[in-house]
Structure 1
Amino acid sequence: MSAADDWQEVLPEAAQAYLEGRRLDEVECIVADIAGVARGKAMPASKFAKQTQFYLPNSIFLQTITGDWADVEEMPYTEPDMVLTPDFSTATAAPWTADYTIQVIHDIHDQTGAPVPIAPRNVLRHICELYAAEGLTPIVAPEMEFYLVAPNIDPAQEVMPPMGRTGRRAAARQAYSMSAVDEYGPVIDDIYDFAEAQGFEIDGILQEGGAGQVELNMRHGDPIRLADEIFFFKRLIREAALRHNCYATFMAKPIQNEPGSAMHIHHSVVDSKTGQNIFSTPDGGETPEFLHFIAGMQRHLPSVIALMAPYVNSYRRYVPDFAAPINLAWGRDNRTTGLRVPISGPEARRVENRLAGMDCNPYLGIAASLACGYLGLKEKVPPENEYTGDAYSRMADIPNTFGEALAVFERSEAVQRILGREFCRVYQAVKALEYKEFLQVISPWEREHLLLNV
């Protein structure tokens, strides 16, 4: 048996089914950078089979979304190599390619074998390990919102909704409309087909409130696996859209006067030995841990908004009455609150964090959210009283600009400690540089209203 046969035999069932009777041409060795962009190498399958490790410089985590490079004093710019080892459990098809290609996410260690602490996937793994040390297993279920938009090759032009099957542009304010989804049915069909080929399970797809805005619901499960799937899904959805002359965007607020796109995260925590949801008592009631988890999110979420809303555009989503929260109120079955407790049976009792934007790195957004809940479980303080009215009428209590969010992030001792100081230094440096670059840009609004009037 050849080396190639050896490694292909350990691939997940969906990947093996995709390759059945076919010759694998290429393997993409990938990791997620700070922004959640896929970085890595593509190589012939025959070469991949002969190697057990690969290398990338640690500078990939210093790159901004604009392609610049942050300067971190504790990281001399010699670009030492990190060691990448394939995690074959993540192997999945790339069914949009012309040849037969498999994608594999890689674990990242330094040259001594220690996990690289600034790698986003390692940050999430570290948070999960903190839960495991307490005998607990966190469970998440993310929701993905995104827009299908007309091709936009000129950044100076406003983003427009896509043209539908009827020849009309997608309409807004059609939430849950099946006819609206049918307008771009061919794109949805390809999303389903690609997901099936990749072995991903979709709980449902629905029309959201914006023009061309779609929500995709995912099954609940292990945080790292779900973050991997979101990482893959973003590419999958973009590729499906390109097949039909439109773009898919995960930008938090791509269209003026339309709702933004969120990545709502549902959380529960189970006892690792018994599998019981620690948010529910044996008779179905709410436990102190349930309330402590909520309290931790209320207390610490402002410090991690910079990870859940990682760009200046992200804060355009936090607008009252535009389906996005503006504060940290919590309530049962109340979609105006930042923290919602959905209707469920005791075994599925959970907390939904509605603050994270779809533009966040899924590893970091989920890690930050779980970190806040973990701190609540350790601190054992009660939450505010449940909010039963329209929470949009309450004052905002989250940072409302990216600069403010970065400052709160930098000042939080608890968050710096739990996420890792080295990671926080790198994230702060990358995002501060992005913010500085943004502040050099003069917007059309400024030219229109200030050029001749002030």
Structure 2
Amino acid sequence: MTEKEIIEIIESSESNHIKVAVTDIDGVLRGKIINKQKFFKAVKDGFGFCNVIFGWDINDACYDESDVSGWHTGYPDSIATIDLNTLRHVPWNENIPFFLADFSNAKDVNVACPRTLLKKIKQQADDAGYATLFAKEFEWFNFKETPQSLYEKNFTNLQPLTPGMFGYSLLRTSQYQSFYNDIFNLLRRFHVPLEGLHTETGPGVYEAAIEYTDALEAADRAVLFKTAVKEIAYRHELVATFMAKWNSSLPGCSGHIHQNLLSVNGEENLFYDEKEKDGISKLMQHYIAGQLYCLPFIMPMYAPTTNSYKRYVEGAWASTSISWAIENRTTALRVINQTPMHTRLETRVPGADANPYLSIAASLASGLYGIKNKLPLTIAATKGNEYENTHSQKLPKTLQEATTAMKDSPVAKELFGEAFVNHFILTREWECKQVVESEPNAELKRYFEIV
């Protein structure tokens, strides 16, 4: 739609208020409701959003030494820009109009804005003549709890939606059919269409695959998906969590990224070449090589919390090494090459707790790095069980280890710019200090409901 058409939709809307939201560094959607008069002014001039949005952590505690935002700035308003192309109506909230915004035009905080970063990386792909095709998939746990009961129980003895381990179960989804159907149907009306939805292994676990689109829209959908699922769960007196590893004895929650590059007109899959082995084009080989090379230096963008690293357990469906293979779910990167047009790469490292803008930006930027530098694919494809491969380089074990590697390497700054990396490193170093392992259920209290 044109800007004029979108404005006309809002003018004719029965609702006098519009919901707008931005995303912070942790991928948490933060927003407000504004009236029509303020909305039309905001479309023209932007609207003020306190710069603390990039000056505090996931639990609203202010960082100590942020250059972007802090007490030294007085926490003024930064100007957020509404993206009219993100218009949606919230079907579970009286169809209120909804828009995403970012800080791409705000010189004071734009370096810290995740959506602005992804727009920058996507522009690099556009400039190189590639159309991006991305999709996120998520696993998450559902509980018969409320936000109040979580705290009353001190996050102990939580009751899952369904019992036992029963992946791909039609029986289990029939137990809470209205919740299951609402996720699928309401999200489609919210323009976050799902390809599929099913149970996964674990009590009360669902998995959803979001339909493919360009990189920026894929990240928009992913951010909105997580918040929407939580809101829909609330309506059914349930709580959904995207925490990477809420329980050490159960499988973790992933946030895999599917991706490929197309010709500008979208008619040719540039990741496929019938003349190459297994149909994997030279371009895709460079893309894979770039991701493998950069992976050790950008891990916090895939695994941003202290809890994230507890998911990387051998034999628990999460990758633990820098590896790739064809149709193999034990490696970091999985090539799916069943048909020419759908030949693609699945980056299996990100958890469900990762900021979708940052994880997709990391995936795309590192792949483009491999193409730009024509990196050869020197790591051999895994045959069989990668967990048994003692020669592969292992992923970092902790957020501290991963953050130090990112800080000490020039790779991240080359990919994302020094200003963003400096701010992001500061936030991850802060995050390392916030969870006191000796405190009972510290990670559950910090991450369970919010990430």
Query: Which residue does 1:70 correspond to in 2?
Result: 63
CA distance in 2, matches of 1:411, 1:398: 16
Structure 2: gaps of 5 or more residues: 443-451
Query: Which residue does 2:22 correspond to in 1?
Result: 31
CA distance in 2, matches of 1:321, 1:376: 29
Aligned 1:8-407 pairs, distance under 5 A:
9-10=5-6, 23-51=14-42, 52=44, 53-72=46-65, 74-75=67-68, 77-78=72-73, 79-97=75-93, 99-110=94-105, 116-151=110-145, 152-154=150-152, 156-158=154-156, 160-163=158-161, 170-272=162-264, 275-281=267-273, 285-383=279-377, 384-395=379-390, 397-407=394-404
Once the two structures are TM-superposed, the CA of residue 95 in structure 1 deviates from its matched residue by: 2.5
Once the two structures are TM-superposed, the CA of residue 198 in structure 1 deviates from its matched residue by: 1.2
Once the two structures are TM-superposed, the CA of residue 33 in structure 1 deviates from its matched residue by: 0.5
CA distance in 2, matches of 1:160, 1:20: 46
Q: Using a 3 Å threshold, how does the CA distance of structure 1 residues 183 and 222 change in structure 2: closer, same or farther?
A: same
Q: Which residue identity does 1:38 align to in structure 2?
A: L
Q: Using a 3 Å threshold, how does the CA distance of structure 1 residues 287 and 242 change in structure 2: closer, same or farther?
A: same
| CA displacement, residues 106-140 of structure 1 (integer Å, 9 cap, x when unaligned) | 1324456x981210001111111111221122221
CA distance in 2, matches of 1:302, 1:259: 23
Query: Which residue does 2:416 correspond to in 1?
Result: 419
| CA displacement, residues 363-395 of structure 1 (integer Å, 9 cap, x when unaligned) | 001101111111111222222111111011124
Secondary structure of the corresponding residue to residue 101 of structure 2:
strand
| CA displacement, residues 256-291 of structure 1 (integer Å, 9 cap, x when unaligned) | 311111111011112325742222226573221111
| CA displacement, residues 171-196 of structure 1 (integer Å, 9 cap, x when unaligned) | 33211111122222221121123213
Q: Which residue identity does 1:323 align to in structure 2?
A: W
Secondary structure of the corresponding residue to residue 253 of structure 1:
coil
Q: Using a 3 Å threshold, how does the CA distance of structure 1 residues 381 and 436 change in structure 2: closer, same or farther?
A: same
Once the two structures are TM-superposed, the CA of residue 60 in structure 1 deviates from its matched residue by: 1.1
Q: Using a 3 Å threshold, how does the CA distance of structure 1 residues 68 and 155 change in structure 2: closer, same or farther?
A: farther
CA distance in 1, matches of 2:418, 2:39: 35
Give the TM-score, by structure 1 length: 0.87
CA distance in 1, matches of 2:337, 2:151: 43
* Aligned with 2:429 (options 418, 432, 439): 432
Secondary structure of the corresponding residue to residue 110 of structure 2:
coil
| CA displacement, residues 210-264 of structure 1 (integer Å, 9 cap, x when unaligned) | 1111111111111110111111111211111112221011111123311111111
Secondary structure of the corresponding residue to residue 398 of structure 1:
coil
Q: Using a 3 Å threshold, how does the CA distance of structure 1 residues 125 and 329 change in structure 2: closer, same or farther?
A: same
Q: Which residue identity does 2:206 align to in structure 1?
A: V
Give the TM-score, by structure 2 length: 0.88
Structure 1: gaps of 5 or more residues: 1-5, 164-169, 446-454
Once the two structures are TM-superposed, the CA of residue 145 in structure 1 deviates from its matched residue by: 1.2
Secondary structure of the corresponding residue to residue 259 of structure 2:
strand
Q: Which residue identity does 1:67 align to in structure 2?
A: D
Equivalenced residues, count: 427
Q: Which residue identity does 1:70 align to in structure 2?
A: Y
CA distance in 2, matches of 1:37, 1:297: 25
Once the two structures are TM-superposed, the CA of residue 413 in structure 1 deviates from its matched residue by: 0.6
Is the 8 Å Cα contact of residues 81 and 110 (structure 1) preserved in structure 2? no
Is the 8 Å Cα contact of residues 158 and 255 (structure 1) preserved in structure 2? no
CA distance in 1, matches of 2:195, 2:376: 33
Secondary structure of the corresponding residue to residue 119 of structure 2:
helix
Q: Which moved more, 1:275-284 or 1:175-184?
A: 275-284
Q: Using a 3 Å threshold, how does the CA distance of structure 1 residues 80 and 441 change in structure 2: closer, same or farther?
A: farther
Secondary structure of the corresponding residue to residue 49 of structure 1:
helix
Is the 8 Å Cα contact of residues 144 and 217 (structure 1) preserved in structure 2? yes
Is the 8 Å Cα contact of residues 11 and 91 (structure 1) preserved in structure 2? no
Is the 8 Å Cα contact of residues 123 and 419 (structure 1) preserved in structure 2? yes
Secondary structure of the corresponding residue to residue 245 of structure 1:
coil
Q: Using a 3 Å threshold, how does the CA distance of structure 1 residues 20 and 182 change in structure 2: closer, same or farther?
A: farther
CA distance in 1, matches of 2:7, 2:342: 31
Once the two structures are TM-superposed, the CA of residue 412 in structure 1 deviates from its matched residue by: 2.1
Secondary structure of the corresponding residue to residue 348 of structure 1:
coil
CA RMSD across the alignment? 2.5
Q: Which residue identity does 1:211 align to in structure 2?
A: P
CA distance in 2, matches of 1:120, 1:157: 30
Once the two structures are TM-superposed, the CA of residue 57 in structure 1 deviates from its matched residue by: 3.1
